[in-house]
Structure 1
Amino acid sequence: MGKSLLVCAHSYSNFQKEAINLVSDMFDFVNVIVRTNTFVEIGKHSRMKYFKPYSSDYKIDLKDKPQNVNIYPVSIPYLPTDRGYKLLGEKHLYRVKKLINENNINFDLIHSHFTWSAGYVGAKLKEEYGVPFVVNARGYDIYSLPFKDDEWRSKITYVLETADQIITTSESNLPYLKKLYITSPIHVIPNGFRDQLFYPRDIQRTRIELGLPSSIKILLAIGSLREIKGHKYLIGAMSKIKQFRDDVICVIVGEGELQNELQKIILSYGLQDLVFLKGGKPHHQIPDWLNSCDLFILPSLQESYGTVQVEAMACGKPVIATKNGGSEWIINSDKYGILVEPSNSEDLADKILVALDKEWDKEAILKYAEQFNWNKIAVDIKSIYDKII
């Protein structure tokens, strides 16, 4: 004890929050600096739903926060353009250093979640303060950003090479790190589920509480309404499924810029009584939605990992997922789910129909999911801390 951890993150919610909370007992203090966008904070008061998933209301979840964890939001004005995002690193660094000085924050270890821009801040702080630095390279910050152009490659490579330890969420990210010729130590540590939140519950009770029909098959997808999440292909699959079965509906939980477009697609297929956009939900409500479904669907075009599919299995639900990069690592047997081709409504519909007729072994799914319990994963993170502090 007697040590302090500084965390630079883009949110204190969901998997970032869980990872922070579960290592907090190693430290006297954990100071978490959460990046927010000034323009989003202004825009969230408007009627535009686009802003809500990116606002501090969604980014910061103080429920069950340990007493020694302190949260400091820093508001930074930036535009969601390539140039605006590239300039964000220095803006983020300036605001974090100002906050550290104003609050007299001391730290013995820095952990950044995502290489840009939190990772850039962590790397610069390591150089200035001479303390160890760990970075989580999670998804798009590895498989997309460094390969956009030379400037991005230089920025991301600098962060990764400065880190004392790199944590990445799945083996699917390793080839991208190899392409960057990274020499810093790399550890594959997945995101997990919290067993106090994600566990099997009575399906009928959860359906009643959520206002869902009790005597029908329910497909569930959870994710932000963006192109890469592939929801339009799930809607297309439902147009085929309805030709073979009249006892299936699809529920999509999430918010994003494609909400209006997806609603138009639903109407164009005449699926307004079969596909329902339920909007975004707080993370602590997600277990009820997962327990209400028969099948969990992950139609993403690309995923580094896909934590929600692990959370679904922790509730005993089989997963139908695309071959998106991350799901192949998790759905490694047809005992737990079925993999389908991405961007393919026909294949998705066919596999869903197969899954609806299959008798799934709930206990086998629960047993397999146990390896992704956050309590077990936290041990690996703590061992990395022990090595470098």
Structure 2
Amino acid sequence: MKIAILVSHFPPKWIAGTEIATYNITKHLAKRGHEVHVITRYSKELQRLEESDSLYIHRVCYLDFPILRFFTHLFFSFVEIFKIRKDLSVIHGQMVSPCGLLAMIAGKYLQKPSITYVRGSDVYKATKLFKITIGEFVLRNSDVVIALTGDMKREIQKIYGREVFVIPNGIDLEKFNNLSKENVRKKLKIANEEEIIVFVGTLRSVKGIKYLIEAMKIIIQKNIDTRLMLVGDGEDRESLEKHVKELDLEKYVSFVGKVPNEKVPEYMVASDVFVLPSVSEGFPVTILEAMASGLPIVATKVGGLPEIIKDGENGFLVEPKNPKGIAQRVMLILEDDNLSGRISRNNRECVKKYSWGSVIERLEEVYKS
């Protein structure tokens, strides 16, 4: 099949959740013999067109002004789709806007099937105005709508009353198979006796990191050799660093900063507990990475997380904005080796159903339907 996949940003310039997932989708589709064209925004340090085997990355220009950015991105992306229209099988947009909107419009114009893949924030954080305008237009008129989770599917059906497929994120399990905790701790200069709590993601308010930091104030009263590693960067880093100082936690909280995506497994494997304290969430790849690392998980009861984490089986769920709840579950895991060992084994087994091979097979079925 010849497939166009539209995404606002694409690695290596951007490495947030949607961008990483899109990279993996395109890579695995190309490996399976499909001709894949990614259409994304141009960045001056990158080439306008890259080609590797059956994967083509088209980076389009846009005017970087608030209103013009949206419309020029749509226009030049449409021009690029028009150039590759011959034998095109499907036009796939990542997120409702702008890429789902563009996929739907281009599909109607070129008489090609269009797919909108809803990723989370385009449902959970969308304003009422967005839902009754762009959301209404795109999700009612796309030929196919895919959601990351069952919770997203139910939300879309409640508002728009249409059929929705569910296809989750996937993970490359091979990245985690040959990593030794002892070796990566030595490489990262982490003492063996330290108990490491890790968060991996963008440092912004929706991730609820403030509440995890406040949980550390409770945890260190009982577990003095515990440290929190915050792996990632973002707009809230400065305010979070200030919060750490206010709570006198500089010795117990480390801001690692942004690391290359291929290095994330090392930080996971070196740790003892993964915490995702999000206020709002879709289906984060970091949860799958933690599971593949065999980490016990403490996460909030938001978005698609309860579909992945079964309370007491492969982790624990707490209410959002609940430092005490986070602290209690983390301490329970750290203090009970039998419990943490059982959860670790369950996660390594559970994550197998999220291999990229399984996910891509499901996506191919939707493309052909």
What is the TM-score normalised by the length of structure 2? Answer: 0.89
1:48-63 to 2 correspondence within 5 Å? none
**Residues 301-327 of structure 1: per-residue CA shift (max 9 Å, x gap):** 111122211111011111110112221
> Quick check: 1:199–1:287 contact (8 Å CA) kept in 2?
no
1:80-159 to 2 correspondence within 5 Å? 84=67, 89-100=70-81, 107-145=88-126, 147-149=127-129, 152-159=131-138
Distance of aligned partners of 1:219 and 1:131 in 2 relative to their CA distance in 1, 3 Å threshold: same
- Listed as ranges, the gaps of 5+ residues in structure 1 are 42-55
1:88, distance to aligned residue in structure 2 (A)? 5.2
Q: Which residue of 2 aligns with 1:169?
A: 148
Distance in 2 (CA, whole Å) between partners of 1:19 and 1:102 is 22
SS of residue in 2 equivalent to 1:251: strand
Moved more, 94-103 or 357-366: 94-103
SS of residue in 1 equivalent to 2:56: strand
Distance in 1 (CA, whole Å) between partners of 2:70 and 2:166 is 25
1:11, distance to aligned residue in structure 2 (A)? 3.2
Distance in 2 (CA, whole Å) between partners of 1:106 and 1:94 is 21
1:332, distance to aligned residue in structure 2 (A)? 1.4
Read off the aligned partner of 2:258 and give its amino acid letter: G
Distance of aligned partners of 1:199 and 1:135 in 2 relative to their CA distance in 1, 3 Å threshold: farther
Distance of aligned partners of 1:103 and 1:378 in 2 relative to their CA distance in 1, 3 Å threshold: closer
Distance of aligned partners of 1:6 and 1:337 in 2 relative to their CA distance in 1, 3 Å threshold: same
1:219, distance to aligned residue in structure 2 (A)? 0.3
SS of residue in 2 equivalent to 1:92: helix
Q: Which residue of 1 aligns with 2:358?
A: 376
1:127, distance to aligned residue in structure 2 (A)? 1.1
Q: Which residue of 2 aligns with 1:179?
A: 158
Tell me if 1:22 matches 2:28.
yes
Count of residue correspondences: 355
1:213, distance to aligned residue in structure 2 (A)? 2.3
Distance of aligned partners of 1:327 and 1:79 in 2 relative to their CA distance in 1, 3 Å threshold: farther
Aligned-residue CA RMSD in angstroms? 2.3
> Quick check: 2:85–2:110 contact (8 Å CA) kept in 1?
no
> Quick check: 2:301–2:318 contact (8 Å CA) kept in 1?
yes
Q: Which residue of 2 aligns with 1:325?
A: 303
Tell me if 1:345 matches 2:323.
yes
Q: Find the partner of 2:170 among 192, 214, 219.
A: 192
Q: Which residue of 1 aligns with 2:40?
A: 34
Read off the aligned partner of 1:93 and give its amino acid letter: L
> Quick check: 1:6–1:109 contact (8 Å CA) kept in 2?
yes
1:349-360 to 2 correspondence within 5 Å? 349-358=327-336, 359=338, 360=340
Q: Which residue of 2 aligns with 1:51?
A: none
Q: Which residue of 1 aligns with 2:16?
A: none
Read off the aligned partner of 1:369 and give its amino acid letter: V
Read off the aligned partner of 1:10 and give its amino acid letter: S
SS of residue in 2 equivalent to 1:278: strand
Q: Which residue of 2 aligns with 1:47?
A: none
1:282, distance to aligned residue in structure 2 (A)? 1.5
> Quick check: 1:200–1:291 contact (8 Å CA) kept in 2?
no
- Listed as ranges, the gaps of 5+ residues in structure 2 are 11-18
Tell me if 1:7 matches 2:5.
yes
Distance in 2 (CA, whole Å) between partners of 1:291 and 1:322 is 22
SS of residue in 2 equivalent to 1:277: strand
Q: Which residue of 1 aligns with 2:247?
A: 269
Distance in 1 (CA, whole Å) between partners of 2:230 and 2:86 is 42
> Quick check: 2:29–2:36 contact (8 Å CA) kept in 1?
no
**Residues 56-83 of structure 1: per-residue CA shift (max 9 Å, x gap):** 88xx9x9xx9511011122433556xxx
1:349, distance to aligned residue in structure 2 (A)? 0.9
Distance of aligned partners of 1:251 and 1:304 in 2 relative to their CA distance in 1, 3 Å threshold: same
